[in-house]
Amino acid sequence: MNIKSIVSSFINRKIKKVEPLFGGDINRAYRITTMNEIFVLKQNSSKRFPEMFKKEKVGLSLLSLAGANVPKINCVFDFDDQQFILMEFIEREKNIERDFWINFGTSLAQIHLKSNTHFGLVFDNFIGSLQQQNTFENNWTTFFIEHRLQPLVSNSYDLGLLKDSHLRNFDGLLKQLDQLIPKEKPSLLHGDLWSGNILCGPQQTAYFIDPAVYFGHREVDIAMSFLFGGFDTDYLNSYQEVYPLEPDWKARIELHNLYPRLVHLLLFGSSYLQGIEKVIRKF
């Protein structure tokens, strides 16, 4: 497949260079250089992941409308059985300074202040390569149980990644969730907030990429920022100046991180099981 000629025909620009980019697990990615601009192109199967990039475009638009900085989308298109998204290339700062984390915390709070009448989203989307169910619910614990935890627990059990003892522990935990998690209005979430999905752009500006958006409990994003490292948690100072967290939010980090841990269990295998076991035994 000639990426240069395919992209050129869709954007009507002469392309000087196409270079592969590395670091993601799901998509092929390229740096596309024209006479005056630089883009990022992502490619994947349109059959395996229907409308993945159309949904990513909508997700980035929702974040932008909430006040966050995101790459500008040039176009989303299909060619043969492949789908593509072409977007602005964000030139990264070499050094991340304190101002970046201040900007990130403020931006994340602005995203979370964007609310909705229900938890969920008008369409399903993806987290990594997994389908993410976003059926609307009136309260967070119902949504979290029925559209986040239970589907992945069931899939993991069917694949032999979880055993009967795990199911019993999950059952005990799920019965307690409504008492463990404070009630809040739905917040717009990035949904996949690990350090690889934020960029330090020009002038220490925080850019958000690769979202898995929906309206949920904002502690989900906060919790995931603690899961794999890479964040200066001082960002929470500027976050809480805009949108203070509920008391004892740190005690709920591992509860909300059950979802991304289950995602990784399904995608990458049993090396992620120990972290799940620790949480479900504790609660």
Q: Could you give the residue numbers annotated as active site? A: 192
Cα torsion angle, 258, 264, 269, 274, sign: negative
133-136 contacts at long range (C-beta below 8 A, 24 or more positions apart): 134/214
Ranges assigned E (strand) in 66-110: 73-79, 82-88
Category of 119 on φ-ψ map: left (φ > 0), alpha (ψ -120 to 50) or beta: beta
Instruction: Kindly report the backbone phi and psi dihedral angles of residue 280, in degrees, each rounded to the nearest multiple of 5, phi listed first.
Output: -70, -25
If DSSP codes are grouped into helix, strand and coil, which group holds residue 129?
coil
Instruction: Look at phi and psi of residue 95 and say left if phi exceeds 0, alpha if psi is from -120 to 50, else beta.
Output: beta
How far CA 208 is from CA of 49, 80, 93, 198, in Å, comes to 22, 30, 15, 5
Helix (H, G, I), strand (E, B) or coil at 270: helix
Query: Is-contact 227 260, C-beta < 8 A?
Result: yes
Helix and strand element counts for the chain (H, E): 12, 11
Strand 73-79 relative to strand 38-45, pairing: unpaired
Q: Which sign, positive or negative, has the C-alpha torsion 191, 192, 196, 197?
A: negative
Task: Locate the DSSP E strands across 183-244.
Answer: 187-189, 198-201, 205-208, 214-216
